[in-house]
Structure 1
Amino acid sequence: MKHSPVELNDLPDEILMIILKKLNNVQILYSLIGVNKRLNTIVHDPIFTSHLTLMRCFSDDSIDPLPDPILDRFCLQILHEIHHKIQWLNLESSSMKRILLATNYPNLFGLGLYDIEIETALSLVIELHICLKRFSDCLYLLDGRFNKLHTLHVDIDTIISSSDLTNNNQEKLPDLKRFSLYCRMPTNTCNTLIEPFLQRMPNLEKLCLNVICDKKTFTDGNELKQNIINHMPRLERFEFYICSGIAVRNQIYLPSKEDIQHTFRDFKDDQVISYVDYFQEDPYSFCHIYLYPDQLKYYYNVTNNFPGGLFTCVHQISLYDDRPFEHEFFLRIAESFPILKMLSLKNSKPQNNKLHRESKNDNQNFSIIKYPYLTNLTFYFAHDDYIEEFLVDTNICLPDNAVHLNIDYEALNRVTHNYTRDKTRINCAKLGSLCLNDRRLPNYAKDYFPLVYV
């Protein structure tokens, strides 16, 4: 190849990409961007533009800014060309300000800051997306250290803990303009913790709440106005899904769906949806209220009263009722939650139409239901009929190699007839992992679960 006339531009795109992937992205962009139309197209690929480290890193862990000629060209030309493709920037302190002010970065979601004082770094953060274990961690973050923060999105596991109740700072948060709170688990602190926390945000313009609350009374429009909206005179958009649960044993007055809906009569937007679930056998009842459901992540205690709709961001739901879930219900769930990843089911009632669904002659009358993104199924406290519909029947299609199943050991034995059931009609081969309440799957069951380590 020493005397070969072949040049870089003569190589096929596939070979060129293999070579360029082994080089530094900054060197590639600096050297090839603008050289010719073909190379320009190649180096604009997200592989080279999405993550940039605009500094020099040495083997002794020392860091220097880019040489002035390279930095000048990036700030004056290259960053302007690829700014909409940049998702992550790694920067060092001396050139950080110039790079960040060179252009706007509409799709930037990550920023690595090196050789910089922590106070300076925190003062630069204006938008923060975080996942936390406890709500108290969120309270600590808002103690003044992020003094430029105007947008905060918080996704937490739980709000209920003793530390949450003892570390609630009461200082106002006047700079916050947008706030979102998503919580996976129920909490009994909506009135004592969440609402006082929100009242510290007087200049909020957009608020999103996705919570389930254990309370003495249902959350309705009157409570939202009195405890939240009236404390935010600049609020322009309020997205919410709130599921409130109450024990009805000692309730004198039980509000209807119409009663709850009437409390939203003065809301600017008349698209608030509400419904109430009262159960014959369960003393606990639920009220669901929501508005603008397009950004919500979790939906709790879906029952047969679920009115449907399209929830394009919800990836985790729980199903509960003391009336049977029929096949058509699961079809409605798949249509309403197109990106569903985690599904848990609690229902002890057998299906009424099970025999009709299992009939070979009538099977074609049942639609095939697809859950293409499902990764986690939980069937604790589920009647065997529902386990059979998901694992044995061919009317529900699970994704290959992806699903983790949480189920009682005895229930799995029953629905598979102790692993002797016809395997041609079984979804078990698609399961990637199992949790059997600390029990081990017997070795002879391996053929049913070829992807699960026994």
Structure 2
Amino acid sequence: MSRSNMHIFDLPDEILLLILKKLNNIDILYSLLDVNNRRFDNLAQENIFTNNLKFDSIDDISLISRFCSDILPRIHCYIKSFTFHPSFVERILLANKYPNLTEVKIIHFQQDFFSKYFTIRAIFEVQITNLILVNDDPYEMGDSFKNYTTNIYAHILRFFKNLKKLNVDSSHESYPSLSICDLSLNTFSSSTLTHLYINVNTLDDCLYLLDGRLQQLTTLSVNVDIIDDSSTIVHSMVNFHR
């Protein structure tokens, strides 16, 4: 076969997959599903393109609309992870059921998010095991840390019944830190959480995380805002050997 006569359809599936893997899977799904080509249609539904969908850099409403009406209903059973902006959450989550969805990453997260969106599908309470938040709320000093901890961080652990990994990051320098000193033991507690990545206000807050409130915790990674020589822990600590 001469090079001048070679067409992309002449390439074997293995070569086509190698090429497609170099591209954004959102673009692949948008371009290749429902284009009246069964071969491309099947390739686009490979797990590598459907397991993890990232809508974080998308601002095209027409693209989101097509995904919600045509594409997500076809691949909903394969989706394991979503990354999205809060403005698209409701449309995407209501577009279909996602029986294998276990991980969600939310960019530009703000404190009113959960009251607006996740309660629309109670099934996510038990499905989601990994939660990643890119926090956009402003860093503020004072008692607001404890309020934020009670209203947001503690609420997350109560809402997601099977949460195993919680990762809170920020696109800015800092975000409202976890502060559990002087709060009750069950304010921020979990019997399922194994991995926690978060900023804490003081060293005491870090140590309080090891007092048994997170029964299954195996990995803890924190940034401490304030390390004060006068910090004291006045209650007994459990041994942390995991």
Shorter-chain TM-score tier: 0.5 to 0.7
SS at match of 2:92: helix
Q: CA RMSD in A?
A: 4.2
Distance change in 2, residues 1:170/1:115 (3 Å): closer
1:14 aligns with 2:14: yes
- Partner AA of 1:46 in structure 2: N
1:149 aligns with 2:159: yes
Distance change in 2, residues 1:114/1:41 (3 Å): same
Deviation for aligned residue 1:180: 3.4
Q: Indicate which of 163, 168, 180 corresponds to 2:191.
A: 180
Number of residues paired by the alignment? Answer: 164
- 1:243-288 CA-to-partner distances (Å, cap 9, x unmatched) read xxxxxxxxxxxxxxxxxxxxxxxxxxxxxxxxxxxxxxxxxxxxxx
Q: What is the rounded CA distance, in whole Å, between the counterparts of 1:92 and 1:27 in structure 2?
A: 17
Aligned to 1:109: 102
Say if 1:53 and 1:91, in contact at 8 Å, map to a contact too: yes
Say if 1:154 and 1:180, in contact at 8 Å, map to a contact too: no
- 1:144-179 CA-to-partner distances (Å, cap 9, x unmatched) read 323781514458xxxxxxx989542567x9xx9xx6
Q: What is the rounded CA distance, in whole Å, between the counterparts of 1:46 and 1:181 in structure 2?
A: 28
Q: What is the rounded CA distance, in whole Å, between the counterparts of 1:154 and 1:24 in structure 2?
A: 28
Q: Which runs of 4+ in 1 moved over 6 A?
A: 139-142
Gaps of 5+ in 2: 119-123, 132-145, 166-178, 195-210, 218-241
Q: Structure 2 length normalisation: TM-score?
A: 0.52
In terms of fraction of residues, the more strand-rich structure is 1
Q: What is the rounded CA distance, in whole Å, between the counterparts of 2:54 and 2:75 in structure 1?
A: 14
Q: What is the rounded CA distance, in whole Å, between the counterparts of 2:193 and 2:159 in structure 1?
A: 19
Q: What is the rounded CA distance, in whole Å, between the counterparts of 1:107 and 1:4 in structure 2?
A: 45
Aligned to 2:92: 99
Q: What is the rounded CA distance, in whole Å, between the counterparts of 1:43 and 1:168 in structure 2?
A: 50
In terms of fraction of residues, the more helix-rich structure is 2
Q: Structure 1 length normalisation: TM-score?
A: 0.30
Percent of counterpart pairs with the same letter?
30
Deviation for aligned residue 1:122: 4.3
- Partner AA of 1:79 in structure 2: L
Aligned to 2:60: 66
Say if 1:9 and 1:39, in contact at 8 Å, map to a contact too: no
Q: What is the rounded CA distance, in whole Å, between the counterparts of 2:104 and 2:216 in structure 1?
A: 27
Distance change in 2, residues 1:140/1:13 (3 Å): farther
- 1:358-417 CA-to-partner distances (Å, cap 9, x unmatched) read xxxxxxxxxxxxxxxxxxxxxxxxxxxxxxxxxxxxxxxxxxxxxxxxxxxxxxxxxxxx
Say if 1:113 and 1:121, in contact at 8 Å, map to a contact too: no
Deviation for aligned residue 1:23: 1.2
Deviation for aligned residue 1:80: 0.8
